[in-house]
Amino acid sequence: MLKEEKEKSLVVIQLSGGNDYLNTIIPYGNDEYYDFRKTVHIKQDSVLHIDNLYGFSPHMAPIKNLYDQGKVAIINGIGYANPNRSHFRSMDIWHTAMPDEIGTEGWLGRVIRDLDPSSENVLTGVNFGRGLPRALGVKGVPVASVGNLETYGLFPDIKDDKQKQLALRAFTHMYGGVAKGNIMDYLGRTGMDALKGADILRTAPAKYLSNVEYGSDTISQSLKSMAQVLLADLGTRVLYTQHGSFDTHSGEILSHAKLWEDVSSAVGDFYDDMDEHGRNNEVIVLIFSEFGRRIKDNGSGTDHGSGGVAFLIGSEIKGGMYGQYPSIREADQLEGDLHFNNDFRSTYSTIIEKWFELDARPIVNGRFEQFDVFKAS
Amino acid sequence: MDTNANDMSIMAHLMRRAGFTATRMELEAYISDGYESTVEKLLFPGEPENMPDDMIRRYHVDQSEMRQIEGAGAYWLYRMITTKNPLEEKIALFWHGLFATGYAKLNQARVLLNQIDMFRRFGLGSFKTMLIELSKDPAMIIWLDNNDNHKGAINENYGRELLELFSMGIGNYSENDVKECARAFTGWTLKNAEYMAVRAGKDSIWPYGRIAWQYQYREEDHDNGIKTFLGRTGNFNGQDIVGMIVEEIATARFLSTRLFQYFAADEITDDSELIISSMMDSYFESQYQVSAMLRTLFNSDYFKSEKCMYARIKGPVESVVGTARLAGSYRKPTLDVHKLWFQTFFMGQGLLAPPTVEGWHEGTEWIDSGALVERINFAANEFGDVNKPGVKYIIDRLSRQYNGSIKPESLVDGCLDLIGPIKVEDLTRESLIEFVSSYNDTSLLIGDINSIGAKCVAQTLGLIASTREYQLA
């Protein structure tokens, strides 16, 4: 599984629950922001300025730091037409890249299939968390779903090591043997794939050596696991995780701050970790959420909205502001929300074609304008 | 196999299919009642009997409110685990997969659980009644947009799926039939949509408040024009459409096949065609009674034969509930019951959250490497604990039988018997025996559940639950 040439990987961080765009990239130079956000706002003097209109939340210092180095593309006003404000449906739309019909295949599952058409590597796609997000699901495409890298695999609850080894040996005998019928065959093959994937994945932490100290929060630990997997050269190309809940209907000031502090420091540490190993040019990070939030606050938090922000981060990214920051003027609002101005499938297509060098059309079901976010190679 | 062992094996098979597996004590009671009499009791169970709602609500406030999906899912799982009428819950799960309505669009679970309750009440009765109740079901009306289906401005969504996914199947009607069907269902709508929308605007954390939508027929929004449906012409309303749908052979075949795949075998072979056609006969003879179709299936020689046994892959919900029932857990309110709903989700069948109106893809599509690891680890953990009532019972039963030393072969065979009985490949049995043989001492003494032998029984049960055979129903 040693790679012969540099393979490009994608890390996806899903901000579940609907991230508040207005308090992430803050239009602090616009008085209307403070009019609509009487309580749930970030004070002008604490915003991390991008220019004299916009700035990062003060809880995103590590990402702002990367932005200043030209490594962060901010995709403003990302979304899709006829926004759906249900968490589940909107997340489904982002996962399947199908806003108008109900889709069943995940866009990243299709990417994984096209990267490894004969499923040679059971670890081309790895989800860090339990339960496969629909973004990764396509029938016949193996994807490992890892709760905890150190203990990942079968029988984590058998604490006695000798007994666990005996149970695994029995499992290998039972699943590896020839049995009657297609169904038993299929089960056997899947069981052996799971075992193989787990055996390989578990070796990653042992090989890992780094000076970076990640935080103890879950998103930091997930990104650390991702770094371990990438640095172990297991051929993993798509790495997925989610963090939340960004559903800040109440108490937003405190909770949103903590969420972004964790995500930003995790991303900053991950960047430093890859940098320390000279591998930063091989990976980009995509951060997205299913929707943004209402322009006007509700006194304590914000309700479901539309129009949001995504980030692409990496040393191969040409940093800057992309898309348009949507107008928040009363007359320009969409039922109290922001209008989107670029389809999320533009960002997907950009990643698929310019980073993975695959044909985006069959994956996102159409042709979308792409951003010029990568450095000339 | 002697007669008793054969009875036990067939009864266990019936209860894996018509229920969520049964414990040894339950199986013994069913056997003393007799097979066909058990089938009748399953088909006509009487009043629901399960963990009472007041008991559940005392421990789970969220299961009164039914706002969030995990609480609502856990509530249904409690009922599946503790019910005395397993087929009532099993058939509700069948309809939930067929008329797949999901939380995603509704954003509240009360209305979904009302739908599930409707499935319990009508699920074993007439398919005609079921389709009419379904057409009036508020969750379904929202799920497939019939509230947007108006006189003069039809929305075809429900009309189309009623024909394509819920009854005849594609190829048995024309595009024009779809439109005419939709016209006939204009005016079948929500009573309190405006109220619910106002609530949504004011109360975004509880988007639709704490009550559910209700059904209303609005004569003024119903299209009373002449319609032509399946070659017949008249001023049809929704009931008339359903009346014509259920008379179709395609409908009988569709429903018989779906019931067959859910209760008998994943794959349709020549043998299955025979039994499917008997089920179709029962459908027409009984005026569309699901109970009559299932009686035909369960009492058939085919159902009790080798061909039908282990011919299905357990769905995640069947797997989770069956394991919990055998291990004896969640029989009383348990604060981490939400974990169970998440388990179904991790294994690919988030209860109350089918991915699309097509429901879940079943059979081998249940299994991918991540889902298989979740299944195995959940079951191995449930059985690996000697303090679980069901595990204790098996240890106790083997102790009473052997009281003293027990050979690895006997321990494995005893576990395979009491966890099922389930039949396994020779290779599986040999691997299990080898595992047990690695224990120095497997003595079982009456009343001692902390001995090495007792722990060995628990680990062996866990290992059996990890086998390929255990994934089959």
Q: Quickly tell me which residue has 């320390």 as its tokens.
A: A276
Question: Which residue type is seen at A28?
Answer: Y
- Does residue B102 carry a pLDDT above 80? yes
The predicted structure's pLDDT at residue A1: 41
Residue A362 CB neighbour total at 10 angstroms = 11
Mean pLDDT of A37-53: 97
Question: Which of B361, B384, B425 is closest, CB to CB, to A157?
Answer: B384
Which band of pLDDT confidence, cut at 50, 70 and 90, is reported for residue B35? very high
Gap from B284 CA to chain A (nearest CA, Å): 34
* Residues 173-212 (A) with a CB less than 8 A from some CB of B: 173-175, 177-180, 183-184, 186-188, 190-191, 193-194, 197-198
Question: How do the domains of chain A map onto residue ranges?
Answer: 9-149+212-364
Mean pLDDT of A235-240: 97
* Chain A residues inside the 8 Å CB shell of B376: 154-155
Answer whether A244's CB lies under 8 Å from A17's CB. Answer: yes
d(CA A119, CA A140): 8
Residue A374 to residues A145, A268, A277, A326, Cα–Cα distance (Å): 30, 20, 21, 24
* Chain A residues inside the 8 Å CB shell of B377: 154-157
Which residue in chain B has the smallest CA separation from A162? Answer: B438
> What DSSP designation does B314 have?
P
Which band of pLDDT confidence, cut at 50, 70 and 90, is reported for residue B210? low
The token duo for B5 is 């062992």
* Chain B residues inside the 8 Å CB shell of A190: 367-369, 372
A358 touches chain B (CB under 8 A): no
B323 touches chain A (CB under 8 A): no
Residue A207 to residues A130, B120, B343, B440, Cα–Cα distance (Å): 24, 55, 32, 36
* Chain A residues inside the 8 Å CB shell of B358: 104
Nearest Cα residue to A360 out of A341, A346, A340, A377 = A346
Tens digits of per-residue pLDDT, B266-289?
999 988 999 999 999 999 999 999
d(CA B110, CA B72): 8
* Residues 91-120 (A) with a CB less than 8 A from some CB of B: 92, 102, 104
A168 touches chain B (CB under 8 A): no
B345 touches chain A (CB under 8 A): yes
Tens digits of per-residue pLDDT, B154-192?
999 999 999 999 999 989 999 999 999 999 999 999 998
d(CA B207, CA B68): 11
d(CA B178, CA B155): 10
User: Considering chain A, what is the average pLDDT of its residues?
Assistant: 93
Quote the crossing angle between the two packed helices B35-43 and B290-298, to the nearest 10°: 160
A154/B466 CB distance under 8 A: yes
Query: Quick one: CA dihedral B446, B450, B455, B461, positive or negative?
Result: positive
Strands A125-128 and A238-244: parallel
The predicted structure's pLDDT at residue B201: 59
Better-scored residue on pLDDT, B348 or A326:
A326
Range of the domain at B322: 316-471
Mean pLDDT of A89-99: 93
- Does residue B10 carry a pLDDT above 50? yes
* Residues 225-254 (A) with a CB less than 8 A from some CB of B: 249-250
Is there a domain that residue B428 lies in? yes
The predicted structure's pLDDT at residue B299: 98
B373/A154 CB distance under 8 A: yes
B3: exposed, middle or buried (Cβ count in 10 Å: 0-12, 13-18, 19+): exposed
Nearest Cα residue to B215 out of B137, B329, B296, B98 = B137
d(CA B275, CA B272): 5
* A304 contact partners, CB below 8 Å, separation of at least 6: A18, A85, A87, A291, A293, A294, B204
Question: Which of A139, A184, A197 is closest, CB to CB, to B369?
Answer: A197
- Does residue B2 carry a pLDDT above 80? no
A53 touches chain B (CB under 8 A): no
- Does residue B352 carry a pLDDT above 60? yes
Which band of pLDDT confidence, cut at 50, 70 and 90, is reported for residue A319? very high
DSSP letter string over B242-261? HHHHHH-HHHHHHHHHHHHH
* Chain A residues inside the 8 Å CB shell of B374: 130-131, 145
The predicted structure's pLDDT at residue A58: 98
Is there a domain that residue B168 lies in? no
Which band of pLDDT confidence, cut at 50, 70 and 90, is reported for residue B205? low
DSSP letter string over A207-248? H---S----SSHHHHHHHHHHHHHHTT----EEEEEEE----
Q: Quickly tell me which residue has 């009623």 as its tokens.
A: B162
Gap from B48 CA to chain A (nearest CA, Å): 32
Mean pLDDT of A210-232: 95
- B388 forms beta bridges with none
> What DSSP designation does A78 have?
E
State how many domains chain B has: 1
The predicted structure's pLDDT at residue B219: 97
Strands A308-313 and A72-79: antiparallel
Strand (E) or helix (H) holding B234: strand B232-234
A79 touches chain B (CB under 8 A): no
User: Considering chain B, what is the average pLDDT of its residues?
Assistant: 93
Question: Which of A122, A132, A183 is closest, CB to CB, to B313?
Answer: A183
B370/A145 CB distance under 8 A: yes
* Chain A residues inside the 8 Å CB shell of B338: none
- Does residue A90 carry a pLDDT above 80? yes
Which band of pLDDT confidence, cut at 50, 70 and 90, is reported for residue A191? very high
Gap from A357 CA to chain B (nearest CA, Å): 27
B370/A132 CB distance under 8 A: yes
Answer whether B192's CB lies under 8 Å from B180's CB. Answer: no
Give the three-class secondary structure for B94: helix
Question: Which of B364, B376, B438 is closest, CB to CB, to A166?
Answer: B438
Which residue in chain B has the smallest CA separation from A187? Answer: B468
* A313 contact partners, CB below 8 Å, separation of at least 6: A63, A66, A71, A72, A73, A267, A271, A284, A285, A287
The predicted structure's pLDDT at residue A3: 45
Which band of pLDDT confidence, cut at 50, 70 and 90, is reported for residue A193? confident
> Which one of B426, B468, B470 makes the best mutation probe of the A interface by having the most chain A beta carbons within 10 Å?
B468
- Does residue B209 carry a pLDDT above 50? no
B313 touches chain A (CB under 8 A): yes
A179/B384 CB distance under 8 A: no
- The topology under which CATH files domain A9-149+212-364 is Alkaline Phosphatase, subunit A (3.40.720)
Give the three-class secondary structure for A28: coil
Is there a domain that residue B289 lies in? no
d(CA A313, CA A347): 13
- Does residue B66 carry a pLDDT above 80? no
A134 touches chain B (CB under 8 A): yes
A151 touches chain B (CB under 8 A): no
Strands B215-217 and B188-190: antiparallel
* Strand ranges inside B79-135, DSSP E: none
Dihedral, CA atoms, B318, B321, B326, B327, nearest 10 degrees? 140
- Does residue A222 carry a pLDDT above 90? yes
- Does residue A307 carry a pLDDT above 90? yes
Question: Which of B104, B348, B468 is closest, CB to CB, to A175?
Answer: B468
- Does residue B200 carry a pLDDT above 90? no
Distance, first Cα to last Cα, chain A? 26
Which residue in chain B has the smallest CA separation from A160? Answer: B459
